[in-house]
């Protein structure tokens, strides 16, 4: 599985770099066609007269390669559904609160005045 990940990683980076240049894309496509034929021949066990490749069987990759192929955790910013409040929105909301409090107090005072007036009217 580690070999598969390493190979796909290498092929992906090669394709990504070659995709921006038409000549490089053609070179990679032709080379992959030749390589895929050689791999199929190697898997099926048929010897190829074209460029035989000796592949060592018990090669361990260097530890540097192993450490670079490991996946690194991405730093994820905590996202919240709330929008960030600026100092202007804060001061505006404070002003609104103060205005609401004043209106509430005024309503209470007018109610009290009316109640007092009703009380005095009934006393007379």
Decide: 29 and 84 in contact? Cβ < 8 Å: no
Q: Which two tokens stand for residue 40?
A: 């199929």
Q: Which domain holds residue 48?
A: 2-53
Maximal C-alpha separation, the chain: 125
- State the pTM of this model: 0.34
Is residue 119 a part of any domain in this protein?
yes
Structure tokens at 68: 């670079």
Task: Classify residue 70: in a domain, yes or no.
Answer: no
> What whole-number distance in Å separates Cα of residue 73 and Cα of residue 59?
29
Is 61 part of any domain?
Answer: no
Does a structural domain hold residue 58? no
Tally of CB atoms within 10 A around 18: 17
The verdict on residue 121 lying in a domain is yes
Please indicate, yes or no, if residue 79 is contained in any of the structural domains: no
pLDDT digits (tens, 9 = 90+) for 20-66: 888 888 888 888 889 889 988 888 886 555 555 565 555 555 555 55
What is the distance between the alpha carbons of residues 68 and 95, in angstroms, rounded to a whole number? 56
- Number of domains into which the chain is organized: 2
| pLDDT digit string, tens, across residues 54-105 | 655 555 555 555 555 566 666 777 777 777 777 777 788 888 889 999 999 8
Q: What is the pLDDT of residue 46?
A: 65
* Contact criterion met (CB below 8 Å) for 18 and 27: yes
Q: Is residue 48 part of a domain?
A: yes
Q: Has residue 80 been placed in a domain?
A: no
CA distance 34 to 110: 93
């Amino acid at each position: 599985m580690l070999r598969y990940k390493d190979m796909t990683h290498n092929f992906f980076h090669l394709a990504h770099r070659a995709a921006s240049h038409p000549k490089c894309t053609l070179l990679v496509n032709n080379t992959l066609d030749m390589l895929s034929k050689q791999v199929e021949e190697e898997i099926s066990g048929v010897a190829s007269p074209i460029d035989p490749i000796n592949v060592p069987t018990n090669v361990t990759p260097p530890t540097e390669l192993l450490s670079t192929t490991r996946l690194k955790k991405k730093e994820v910013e905590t996202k919240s559904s709330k929008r960030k409040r600026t100092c202007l929105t804060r001061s505006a909301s404070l002003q609104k609160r103060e205005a609401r409090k004043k209106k509430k107090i005024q309503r209470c005072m007018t109610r009290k005045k009316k109640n007092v007036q009703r009380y005095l009217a009934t006393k007379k």
